[in-house]
Structure formats: structure tokens, C-alpha cells
Amino acid sequence: MTATMVELLLRPLADAFMQVGVFVALLVAPFGWARYRWGHRLDDALVRHRRLGPLVAAALTVPPGCGGAIIVMAVYARGAVSYGAAIAALVATMGDASWVLLAADPVLTVQLKVLLVVTGAASGYAVDALGIAPRLRRDLVAQRRPAPVAPVAAPAVRLATTTRLHELGVLPALLWLTLGTGATVSVPVTFQLLQPDNLYLVLGVAGTLLAVVAFARGGGKLADDDTESAHPSSMTQVLRHGGHEIAFVTVWVAVAYVTWSVVSHTTGFDGSQLPLFGVTGVLVGALIGLVPGCAVQIVFAGIFLAGGMPLPTLVANMVSQDGDALLPLLALEHRSALLATVLTTVPALVVGSALLVLT
């Protein structure tokens, strides 16, 4: 196998798993456990602090992924929070692209998250102040009175913490095993304690291929999050959904890495020819954010990490994108969802342009 083939195809495939997938796994597990253990309290926080709705809703999106924003959409659909709170969550969420950025640059990700929370809260309060509030569907009007969330019974929690291999499934278990093995190589390489060698390459490529299989077995769904996964009922469910989320992110990062590698190696294209720079770039980033789901946004983040776009373009996309949260909202309140995806482009253009001027 030629060195060109390794650098052109195998190295990007390995990097997708070892540089992103492994570190996403290290984050998915604790965040998934926290969502399982305390997730029901998030609904309570939104209902109890209605006046602070946009701020609380934006803050709920701080954990990576789409779970926090999905919770807000469900609470909004039953009329327990304002439309501004829903907009705040959609603006503030980074979706599954946050896993990619967090694995590659934690400091930048935290800075972006703070910016998004502030922008989301401000946008939500502006929407409420302007009186923008689409009418909810008639069959949900009767549910406008906030309903208390039933606490999870302690015995059920204790029983549900047991994770059995046959309940988890062979494929998710094999994926988690490969991730654990990959971490023993990837973490030292990331901190420059070891140089990437053939073992890194073999584990990385094998892990990405396994992620492709898991992604295909899961139907390749764009909506890897839903209201059920936002409130997991057992650690088995946490690990199953976490495995699917890791596979989903790894596959799309691999697509971005391989595409960028092939294009740059075969044409000498360095990204500066794309309309991703300047004001045009901010506009493109905001418009791409209109695409529902996380797949395109993950590819976009991968291009940024590969050096193919500037930060203002990425920020415009981050503010505009709604992640997977828009999909359940489309099912519950399609008019609110369609208006929301348009409204979120306004702060995206403002913040992206401001950052362009400042940088």
C-alpha cells in the first residue's frame, strides 16, 4: 500500500475515530449518566423559573449534544415556557458539532458556548419583548398549564443502573470496547507522548469502519436524538444511544476529513477559493444553519478544524443551526419550528458579522 494512499484515505479515516470519536466517547458517557440521573430536574427548572425562561433554556444547552434543547422544545410544546425560551435554546445549542469541537479544542469550545448562551438568552428575551408567539396547536392548548414532572422512584433508579450485555447488544458493546482500546493509544498521541504509528492507524481505521456499520444499522438517521433519549430510563439506554451518537459523529467527521483530504491532495485546493470568507462566508454559514439535523453541521465543523474556513463563518453557522432539536419541534409545532429556523438566522448574521469586524 503506497504512502499516498495512507495519507489520502487511511489517515483521515483513522483520525476521525482516534481524534474525535474516542474523545466524544469520553464525554458522552458522563454526560449521558448525568442526563439519566438528573434529567427530570431540567423540566422542573424551566417550569419553576418561567420569568428566567430564555436564560434557563439557553443554559440547558451547555452540555454537548442536542438533549438540552430537545427538552426545551417538549416543554414549550405543552405551553409551559414562552416562545422566546424555545428560540433561546435553538440559538444557544451547538448540536452534535459540539462533540467535534470539544474533542479538538476544548478552550475554543467553551468560549463559543459562552457566546452562544449569551446570544441565545438575548435573542429569546428580544422575541418575548416583541410579542412573537405563534399559536400552539389546538390539541395542546389544554396542556398549557405547567404540569409537574413525576420524580423518578429511587428503587427504579437503582434497578435500572444494571447494564447487561445482552440488553446492550453486541455491536454497541464492540464499539465501546474499540473506543476504550483506542483511547489507550489516542490519548498519549494527542498529548504528544507518543507518535502515531501503525497501531494508531489500524485501530483508527477499524474503529471508523465499525462506526459505519453501527451508523448503517441505526438507519443512518439524521435525528439521532429525540425526546426519549433526552430522558434515558436506564444506563443501558444511555450506552446504546451514546454508541449511536458516537458512530453518527464519527461517520460524518470521516466524510469531512476524507473529502477534504482528497480535494486538497488532488487539486491543491486550500479552501480560500470557497465563499466561506468575509461577509459572504458569514452569510453562507448562516444559510447552511437552516438545514435541520446535525449531519451537515458536523461536516461544517470538520472543515473548520481542517483549516478550510475562518471563525466568523463557523460562529454564524453555530448560531443559526438548530441541531436535532428542530425535528421534534417540527412534529409537535410545525408553524413555530418554521418561524424559529428563520428567526435564528438574524442573530447568526449579526454575531458573525460583528466577529468578522473585530477579527
For 60-86, write each residue's pLDDT tens digit. Answer: 888 877 777 877 887 787 787 889 999
| Pairwise CA distance, residues 213 & 317, whole Å | 29
* 282-336 tens-digit pLDDT: 998 899 888 777 777 887 888 888 777 889 999 999 999 887 778 778 777 888 8
Q: Is the pTM of this model over 0.95?
A: no
Strands (E), 65-176: none
SS3 163: coil
- What is the structure's pLDDT at 2? 66
Contact 35/241 with Cβ under 8 angstroms?
A: no
Q: How confident is the model at residue 158 (pLDDT cuts 50, 70, 90)?
A: very low
Tens digit of pLDDT for each residue in 232-279?
Answer: 666 777 777 778 878 877 887 788 778 877 877 787 655 555 567 888
Q: Residue 317: which domain range?
A: 3-358
Determine what percent of the chain is predicted with pLDDT higher than 70: 77
Total domains in the fold of the chain: 1
Reduce the DSSP state of residue 65 to 3 states and report it.
strand
C-alpha dihedral, 262 to 268 to 271 to 275, nearest 10°: -110
List the grid coordinates of 70.
430537545
Least confident of 25-29, 228-232, 331-335: 228-232
Please give the pLDDT value at position 220: 61
Cite the beta strand spans of 185-239 per DSSP E. none
